[in-house]
Chain A
Amino acid sequence: MATAAKTPPGADPKQLERTGTVREIGAQAVWSLSSCKPGFGVDQLRDDNLETYWQSDGSQPHLFRVLTRKTTVKMLCIYADYKSDESYTPSKISVRVGNNFHNLLELRQLEMVEPSGWIHIPLLDLVNNPIRTFMIQIAVLANHQNGRDTHMRQIKVYTPVEESSIGKFPRCTTVDFMMYRTIR
């Protein structure tokens, strides 16, 4: 019974990937969860399958962390579906970034109302650049209907792609330029 407008689903991240402007870097990172039910862990979170999910099994807030070398992160995409998860669907999410566990700073807090698809969370700093960070922590602070545990179906982390192969120019648009850009 959401009086606020429902959160509209965002575009499928796959299409974003095809534009070549972003690249998924989850595979290069180390993922960890605060808690999980056996059989519903990190693999299910990262398996590109919207049917499987992570189910937490502890007390709130539920956390999951992404640890990499220092990477530029532009956007985070979360798949959440109220219709299938009901009370397990997260409603308030906080994104924190930093160097390690001890100096995480909250970047964004996001409220979702009955989400039904992909939620895009842009991660930008004060001057609206993509952030460069070692670790990202996503905290699920509250669920719909005050559920205790949460389901998270899929998460993707995106970094911007610098298209320019040589020289620090933005991308070329014509094939004529792109042909000569590189030797393959």
Chain B
Amino acid sequence: MTVLQEPVQAAVWHALNHYAYRDAVFLAERLYAEVHSEEALFLLATCYYRSGKAYKAYHLLKGHSCTTPQCKYLLAKCCVELSKLAEGEQILTGGVLNKQKSQDDIVTEFGDSSCFTLALLGQIYCKTDRLAKGAECYQRSLSENPFLWSPFESLCQIGERPDPEQIFKLTSLQSFNAGSGGGAPTFPISPAHTPSHNMPHRQVDSVLMETPQDTLELNRLNLESSNSKYSSINTDSSMSYIDSSVISPDSAPLGTGGSLLSKQVQNKPKSGRCLLGGTATLSPLTPSFGILPLEPSPGDPSYLQNYSHSGTGMEPPPPPGPPKKTVSRISQVGTKSVFAQSGNSREVIPNPFNQTQTTAPQTSTTPQVLSPTIAAPPNVQPRRSSRLFTSASSTAKENSKKLKMKFPTKIPNRKTKTKTGKGGITPSSLNESIEILKLDSSMAEGKGNISSPQFQAFTLQKAAADGLMSLMRDIGRGYLALCSYNCREAINILSQLPAHHYNTGWVLGQIGRAHFELAEYMQAERIFSEVRRIESYRVEGMEIYSTTLWHLQKDVALSALSKDLTDMDKNSPEPWCVAGNCFSLQREHDIAIKFFTRAIQVDPSFAYAYTLLGHELVLTEELEKALGCFRNAIRLNKRHYNAWYGLGMIYYKQEKFNLAEIHFKKALSINPQSSVLLCHIGVVQHALKKSDHALETLNRAISIDPKNPLCKFHRASILFANEKYKAALQELEELKQIVPKESLVYFLIGKVYKKLGQTHLALMNFSWAMDLDPKGANNQIKEAIDKRYLPDDEEPVTPDDYPYYSTELEESQESSMTDADDTQLHTTESDEVL
């Protein structure tokens, strides 16, 4: 049976690795019809899922029993995607009625994929409002695999404060235990497969030997662990082996770096795998990284030494030849591949790879037969040793240093991409590390000494992964600071990243967001336009950019952005939010509402779309609906302080000042350094007649952000209302310096002077105010002036009186006739008005 399956499975993986989903699906369906095994079922479901039809995978898996962890994991993933959260949870933990599995149970059951399983479970818990359990799952997932970014991100977003220093470090975890640790649990799950694998491998290997391999495939194959771990997660290892030629970087992410590495090593010899039966998450990207493992040839002899040649009669690769090549190549690759964000290194590697292949099959089989644990370390050793011995130890060290340094560079690229991909991609960084390590190992000239090379190889691996970890720690600290709204600190931390990481879409996007939260819209706009320049395909974070442009009233830029994004991607909520903001700026609120509703339709879990919709509804005076929208946003994300602010604003409009204050304070508790929030709280407190508190709050606001002119303005108006005219005037004079063209400032100064009885100055200021704002405030200003001439109506002008001002012209015009002094002013005003 397995013999029949193998070539078909290999073909399916081959097609999958080349994104030929229709072929893959067709073949998988035929295979499944022929052989109703769980392997085949899983393969078919994977094909459906990868081709974007999660519902097919769901129905397929649901209709048949799935007992293997990989099937369960895939089914749970489909459930979550189709929003069937309860079902997903039941699959993973046994549900509410049955005995619930604990996290340890899950870890043992799912083995290598337990980190992903736990992350998925965490997601389910968070979406169903069980944040504590979700946080636990995420923490556990991170402890299983520190290379995962998305659980960390989710933890930050729900308000937990995970410690990046603790999380992003390679402890005894899997890492360099030749992945055996990770693989071990899973391995037993399909022990039956292993023996069968051996045979096919050999056969396949021989077959594959002839075929020219893409470096890509080779890489992938290497990365892919022929491990049971891999098989547990992906399809059977047998499939992967069949594809020997294909190395998918995808496999790398499986499990921890260490295990991957070890697996890689194992895989390399196999080199048989054409198709990566890889992780669903990985895509065979960055082949450049994958190429590194090519230097097995030097290692080959060592392999051969270590393992009995059981392979097909592949002639032993000419050790002298390849080693030389590898040495040179390695240095080459070292420089290239490490940095090769583009697939440069790929070209370099092809040759050695072939050779690797030859040797691979032989060695590959052995690992297969043995448990991964046993296999891994020995595999690793020969590789490294050969490399280490060829070059002087110093060079090795240099290389390792280089690799170490370069490693972080590479990672970020992956990282940025992975960030956009939202998790699951971080493992790609592992690929890099793996590649580097492969590189090292390949260098080994088969010089024999296994013990120290082993150690050195281990050290090199560790160095590379450490580089990644330190980068992730920095980024983690920055992100954590941003999520707790310590924006200054976040900007500092993220700005200290190396330049090649700094200039990536994700990092700049976070920095832009930090500026946005600080209300520094100019800087935010600059940074976001840089993001657009670097990564024009990036949509995450663009909704913040659009709001920045809305604040700055840059309608041209905003409409251009809206057009670009909606043309590019109609299935994400961000472009629709941008379009909505664009129309909102044009004051077409009904159309803006339509766009925001569309954003919500596209992604019902995007909280910001609800907030924006709420704001639009407030502007169209549909306060009840707006309340509903803000509450929805809060339901999705309790830490969405914009929604709390929105609720506060609605209550303020309805003059429920107490409620308004409570909501503003809640928003402030989430984002304590927002001067706008403090300003609003100050005004509300003043409305509640707590003027002292109001002044205190405004003082605090000004101290946090001295550039916010509105705080000073409101402080001045409160002082004015409390009849502290001198202080108010002083405040306003300062404000005049900061914002010389704002008519409100002159308006308020005029009122103060009027109160003080200095009518000339008052009039002067009123006229200035009117000059600066022909429409809008015009009538209020006119009213203010008119009141002068109605001595009976001379009442204290408090902020509460403003709404009283009408928008009538005639009265002012008439009154203008009565006072010769003002005729001049009034006539000019009326001209402007008309």
Contact = CB atoms under 8 A, between A and B. Distances in A.
A161 B588 CA distance: 13
A166 B621 CA distance: 15
B676 A183 contact: yes
Contacts of B564: none
Contact of B683 (A166, A177, A183): A166
Interface in B520-552: 521, 547, 550-552
A168 B802 contact: yes
Contact of A183 (B652, B674, B717): B674
B71 to A, nearest CB: 46
A166 B680 CA distance: 7
A159 B246 CA distance: 68
A175 B710 CA distance: 11
B590 interface: yes
A41 interface: no
Interface residues on B, range: 35 or more
Interface in B575-601: 586-590
A18 B744 contact: no
Given A162-B803, A183-B674, A184-B612, A173 B776 contact: yes
B756 to A, nearest CB: 20
Given A173-B741, A178-B551, A28 B802 contact: no
Given A17-B587, A28-B621, A179-B552, A170 B777 contact: yes
Contact of A168 (B710, B711, B738, B799): B799
Interface string A5-28: 000000000000111110101011
A173 B742 contact: yes
A160 B807 CA distance: 10
Contact of B553 (A127, A159, A167, A178): A178
Nearest to A74: B807
B709 interface: yes
Contacts of B683: 166-167
Interface string B764-782: 0000000011011100110
B110 interface: no
B37 interface: no
A37 interface: no
B615 interface: yes
A23 B805 CA distance: 19
A124 B806 CA distance: 10
Contact of A167 (B521, B799, B801, B808): B799
A175 B552 contact: yes
With a 10 A CB-CB cut-off, give which of B801, B808, B810 has the most chain A CB atoms. Answer: B808
B719 interface: no
A176 B799 contact: no
A59 B176 CA distance: 93
Nearest to A178: B553
A162 B741 CA distance: 21
A20 B587 contact: yes
A173 B743 contact: yes
A128 B519 contact: no
Contacts of A159: 621
Given A27-B590, A129-B806, A160-B807, A180 B709 contact: yes
Interface string B691-733: 0000000000000000011110110010000000000000000
B138 interface: no
B620 interface: yes
B792 to A, nearest CB: 15
B610 interface: no
B739 A21 contact: no
B249 to A, nearest CB: 41
A171 B777 contact: yes
Given A177-B709, A180-B676, A172 B744 contact: yes
A184 B620 contact: no
Given A28-B621, A177-B709, A170 B645 contact: no
A171 B775 CA distance: 9
Contacts of A28: 621-622
Given A174-B739, A175-B553, A180-B519, A168 B800 contact: yes
A170 B709 CA distance: 16
A163 interface: yes
B744 A173 contact: yes
Contacts of B713: 177
A127 B649 contact: no
B747 interface: yes
Given A124-B808, A128-B808, A170-B747, A181 B710 contact: yes
Contacts of A167: 683, 714, 717, 799
A21 B775 contact: yes
A76 B642 CA distance: 36
Contacts of B641: 183
Contacts of B741: 173-174
A3 interface: no
A177 B742 contact: yes
25 contacts: A21-B775, A25-B621, A74-B807, A128-B808, A129-B807, A160-B807, A162-B803, A164-B802, A166-B683, A167-B714, A167-B717, A168-B800, A170-B777, A170-B805, A171-B776, A173-B772, A173-B776, A175-B553, A176-B709, A176-B738, A177-B739, A182-B615, A182-B649, A184-B550, A184-B615
In the A-B complex, the 4 residue pairs with the smallest Cβ-Cβ separation, listed nearest first, are A128-B808, A170-B777, A168-B802, A171-B776
Interface of A: 17-21, 23, 25, 27-28, 74, 124, 127-130, 159-160, 162-184
Given A169-B802, A176-B709, A179-B551, 11 more contacts: A18-B587, A20-B587, A23-B589, A127-B806, A167-B683, A167-B799, A177-B710, A177-B742, A178-B553, A180-B708, A183-B674
